Amino acid sequence: MKRIENEPALTRRKTLLGGVGLLGVASVGTLAACGVGNGPAAPAKKARTSVATVRFMPLGSGSSLQWQLQWVDKFNQTTGAEQKITVKAEPEADQTALFTKFQTTSAAGDPPDVSRLKEVWTFESAAKGALAKLDGYFKTDKEFNAPDFLPRFQAALQYKGANYGIARELSLTIPFYNKSLAASAGLDPEKTPTTYEEFRDWARRMTKPGPTADQSQWGYDYYEFSTREINMNQFLGFVRRYDGQFWNKDRTAVGWSAQPAYDAMDYLVTLIQKDRSVIPPDSGLPSPWSSGRTTGKVGMWETTTTGIPNYPQSTPDLKFGVFLWPKHPNNNQNLASVSSAIAQGSKDLDAAWEFAKWWNSPESQMGFYNNGGGNTPARKSLFEAPPFTTDPLWKIAMPGYTSPDGRTRPLAVRYNELAEAMVPALIDGFKGKIPPKQAVDDSAAAGTAFWKSIGGNADMAGSD
């Protein structure tokens, strides 16, 4: 069975960024000044007299990993054999463990040549000089077809305007809903909420209290109440839709202590504490309540668009729909961009590039979509073809990928620690322990304190 709650499952353990450190945060400016990581233009293809070995660290388990290993074997038997390149896979099942391994091996001078890194980790690794600059390859390798990559997602893999990863797999977090529960509540399942008041009405009308939390029907299950960074990022999605920002102007502090974030927190607390239409963080139920979502106990919930292809396979009886968060005044939907990144310490950059290029060909990216859990490809040519242009649910979701208002996680060195420092105050706000405004201000203060403790500055963070 394929997993639906893709992001929570893959990032369950806390990142150990602070204790490892590739080259130390203090060295970021020095690296930039010395040009570390700013490699030369793409070299000519080598006529190898011996076989080059490329170490590759993919993420996955189960059928997804099986497909990836088979695909690596295909490279070894075809393009790799022709060019005298052999790829050796070193998979990790957990992406936090993957990044920790990338850090430790980079610090030891022996990293995998190609690794699967989230956008925030691509940014951090580039800032610390651990990744090869790929602009030369992008400009000179016509087979690669760099213009085919979706610009917004490729931009999330840049540091100071240079490319340090190839956009590999994308995801979008949007609301899903149970069509049967909507109809039972007297709602039109084909006319989804277009305002936040309509969303609130839907949540209230699909809520049916029972003697216990697990015997109740809930209108909305928030993405996840946890101590993980994703909790901060999901709230940030609301803040951005309400026209707020994460950073202050010069990116020396968390800058969301303003009316948009206050209004966003007040809205969510109203749903949780006043309307009692949201499964609260202290309900005793798992968060997210995945089984409740698929057994008719939850009216609306958030997950990634991987659910579009996966729910029909894992839960064929579930009648569900999707919609985008209403514009208020922005149309932000939470995006994620994953890279295939090449280590600066690669023993053969040209061989690593040849594999990374092949791994991100249209055929390979679409194969991963079909066999890797439903993450969308990062090429325009694939977005402009079935199923994305024909499936009714994908046609609803696609504008969320292409809207200029969409944002990924804030790009920052040691992002996970920064975000997780902010979560406790948010949870206290969601629980009603402190007023909404205080929850926002306290979370911003905690994030700013961490950021200042590592000497945070504009070189260590991307713009909003």
- Taking only the tens place, the pLDDT of each residue in 93-105 is 999 999 999 999 9
Residues 300, 180 share a domain: yes
Residues 326, 180 share a domain: yes
C-beta neighbour count of 452 within 10 angstroms:
12
Q: List Cβ<8 Å contacts ≥24 apart for 178-186.
A: 178/206, 178/293, 178/296, 178/298, 178/299, 178/300, 178/318, 178/319, 178/320, 179/319, 179/320, 179/321, 180/296, 180/319, 181/206, 181/217, 181/296, 181/298, 181/299, 182/206, 182/299, 185/299
Residues 281, 132 share a domain: no
- Tell whether 369 is covered by a domain: yes
Residues 55, 184 share a domain: no
C-beta neighbour count of 66 within 10 angstroms:
12
Among candidates 293, 301, 306, 304, which has minimal Cα distance to 173? 304
Among candidates 307, 271, 298, which has minimal Cα distance to 396? 307
CA distance 362 to 370: 12
Query: pLDDT at residue 22 above 50?
Result: no
- Tell whether 7 is covered by a domain: no
Across the range 147-157, mean pLDDT stands at 96
Model confidence over 61-86: pLDDT tens digits? 999 999 999 999 999 999 999 999 99
- Report the C-alpha dihedral over residues 446, 456, 95, 150, rounded to 10 degrees: 110
pTM for this entry: 0.89
Across the range 219-247, mean pLDDT stands at 97
- Tell whether 190 is covered by a domain: yes
Last residue of a domain, one of 402, 421, 452: 402
Query: pLDDT at residue 31 above 80?
Result: no
Residues 371, 397 share a domain: yes
- Tell whether 28 is covered by a domain: no
Residues 419, 284 share a domain: yes
Residues 198, 148 share a domain: no
> Which of the 8 DSSP states describes residue 408?
-
- Tell whether 6 is covered by a domain: no
> Which of the 8 DSSP states describes residue 373?
T
> Which of the 8 DSSP states describes residue 213?
G
- Tell whether 111 is covered by a domain: yes
Query: pLDDT at residue 329 above 70?
Result: yes
Q: Burial letters for 100-124: b for 16+ Cβ neighbours within 10 Å, e otherwise?
A: bbbbebbbeeebbbbbbbbbbbbbb
Query: pLDDT at residue 15 above 90?
Result: no
- Tell whether 318 is covered by a domain: yes
CB 436 within 8 A of CB 266: yes
- According to DSSP, the residues that pair with 57 across neighbouring strands are 115
Residues 178, 123 share a domain: no
- According to DSSP, the residues that pair with 167 across neighbouring strands are 339
Domain tally for the chain?
2
Residue-averaged pLDDT of the chain: 91
Q: Confidence band (pLDDT; 50, 70, 90) for 25? A: very low
What is the CATH classification number for the domain harbouring 448?
Answer: 3.40.190.10
Across the range 237-256, mean pLDDT stands at 97
Containing structural domain, residue 284: 172-334+411-460
Last residue of a domain, one of 402, 426, 445: 402
Model confidence over 407-417: pLDDT tens digits? 999 999 999 99
Residues 385, 277 share a domain: no
pLDDT of residue 464: 86
CA distance 350 to 39: 12
pLDDT of residue 29: 37
Residues 236, 321 share a domain: yes
Query: pLDDT at residue 24 above 90?
Result: no
CB 335 within 8 A of CB 408: yes
pLDDT of residue 94: 95
Last residue of a domain, one of 402, 432, 450: 402
- Tell whether 362 is covered by a domain: yes
Residues 291, 144 share a domain: no
Across the range 259-278, mean pLDDT stands at 98
CA distance 443 to 387: 41
Query: pLDDT at residue 304 above 50?
Result: yes
Across the range 201-205, mean pLDDT stands at 98
Residues 184, 60 share a domain: no
